[in-house]
Chain A
Amino acid sequence: MKSSLEILPAREATLSEVLDRILDKGVVISGDLILSVADIDLVYCGLRLVICSVDKLGEMTGVNTTEPTNQPRP
């Protein structure tokens, strides 16, 4: 694959890029996720996503997010 460079004006950027740049971190977005195989819906998940940077998460929870941890996950 050749090296490539793409330069896009902001107004031609994707919606996800607009959200990345303009939406405040900490906003909660809800949505649905349905996992299906061969057109059969198997699993439904109601999602609540918090748009948040890792640094902000560290500030809010008091957890040092920049250091790896050896604590077992719950």
Chain B
Amino acid sequence: MSVYVYAVLQEPAPLLLSLTGHDEAPVQLMIDHKSGLGVAVCWLEEEDSTSVLLSQLREGLMTERPLLMQAVAQHAAVLEVCVSAGACLPFPFPGPSFADPSDVMDRLRGHSQALTAELERIGNHVAFSIRFSAEAPPLPEGQADLTPGRKYLQQKMQVWKQQQAAARLANQFAHYAEGLFTEFRRTDPGAPGRHQALSKNSVGTVFLVPMSQEQAFIERLQAFHGEQPDGESISCTGPWPACEFLSEDVRKIFT
């Protein structure tokens, strides 16, 4: 058997006790009463499909995609409840797993100060993902007296310029938005970049938002959208558990 860890929680709530984790295993709490910290875990049998999947992932072996998708969705469902139960540090999938449960408690006790500091940093936060897309400007009229070959090349060039213009617009848009939402973004020089190029004319950014300001964030986004010219679209999903913002140091504690 092994212990699979979903999240570290501060003053864990009993709400979690009715949860089901991977392979229908009940989610349980392991609590260090001295520090007030706990971890949401489930016990996995060696022959459980999740145990097999975890070992395949660890070794970089072939994994069945449907099984992976199902396991990620199950992990996300548990994290959603953990986040709603109070301040927590959610692990991305696959979460850490241990053969010996005392290992988990040792890490919780031995690093309670670092874990508490991280809980203060991102514990009561959620992530919002925003994708910005810019429509390419319309193609200008071509010259009618060109030969078919030159006309083809001219059109190709115009399409390329059109894509470049849309890409520039999307990037400007994203940078401007980041400036606008400064108070919602955790500026952590050690954290990996949160601004990713998705395609030629769209960019994606993830914001870390305090739970108490979720509504304010949405309202700001709506107001921001109202000021944008036609041809630009914004897609926002969230709130997500802030797995991506979990520091490397905390991840290493549970490695």
Given A1-B231, A4-B234, A24-B92, verify A54-B225 contact (CB < 8 Å): no
Interface membership of A74, Cβ < 8 A: no
**Per-residue CB proximity of A53-71 to B under 8 Å, as 1/0?**
1111000000000000000
How many residues from A make CB contacts under 8 Å with B?
Answer: 32
A31 & B237 in contact (Cβ 8 Å cutoff): no
Q: Are B76 and A18 in contact (CB under 8 A)?
A: yes
Residues of B close to A27: CB separation below 8 A: 57, 93-94
Do residues B72 and A54 form an inter-chain contact, with CB atoms below 8 A?
Answer: no
Q: Bound state CA distance, A22 and B234, in angstroms?
A: 21
Which residues of A are found within 8 Å of B240, using beta-carbon distances? 10, 21-22
Q: Is B60 a contact of A28 with CB atoms below 8 Å? A: yes
Q: Is the CB of A6 within 8 A of B234?
A: yes
Q: How far is the CB of B244 from chain A (nearest CB, A)?
A: 7
Contact B65 A3, beta carbon cutoff 8 Å = no
Secondary structure dominating the interface of A: mixed
- A29 interface residue, CB < 8 Å from B? yes
Q: Which residue of B lies closest to A56 (CB)?
A: B192
With contacts A22-B79, A23-B93, A29-B63 known, is A3 near B193, CB below 8 A? no
A24-B193 in contact (CB<8A): no
Could you tell me if A4 and B241 are in contact, using CB atoms closer than 8 angstroms?
no
In-complex Cβ contact of A28 among B63, B192, B230, B239 (8 A)? B63
Q: Which residues of A contact B193 (CB under 8 A)?
A: 53-55
Complex alpha-carbon distance, A63 and B236, angstroms: 32
Q: Does B23 contact A (CB under 8 A)?
A: no
Closest to A55 in B: B192
Within B222-246, which residues are at the interface with A (CB < 8 Å)? 222, 225, 228-241, 243-244
Complex: chain A residue closest to B224, CB-CB: A5
Q: How far is the CA of A45 from the CA of B221 in the complex (A)?
A: 42
Q: Is B144 an interface residue when CB atoms closer than 8 A count as contact?
A: no
B20 within 8 A of A: no
Tell me if A35 is interfacial: C-beta within 8 Å of chain B. Answer: no
By a CB distance below 8 angstroms, the chain B residues around A21 are: 76, 127, 129, 206, 237, 240-241, 243-244
B30 within 8 Å of A by Cβ? no
**Which residues on B sit within 8 Å (CB–CB) of A24?**
92-94, 243
Q: Which 10 residue pairs spanning A and B have beta carbons closest together?
A: A24-B92, A5-B225, A55-B192, A4-B233, A13-B237, A21-B240, A30-B62, A7-B236, A6-B235, A22-B76
Given contacts A17-B129, A21-B241, A24-B94, 18 further A-B contacts (CB under 8 A): A1-B233, A3-B233, A5-B225, A7-B221, A7-B237, A8-B236, A8-B237, A10-B80, A10-B239, A10-B240, A18-B73, A19-B69, A22-B92, A22-B241, A24-B92, A24-B93, A25-B92, A54-B196
What would 14 A/B residue contacts be, using CB atoms closer than 8 Å? A3-B231, A4-B233, A6-B233, A7-B237, A8-B237, A18-B76, A19-B69, A20-B129, A22-B79, A22-B92, A24-B94, A30-B62, A31-B65, A53-B193
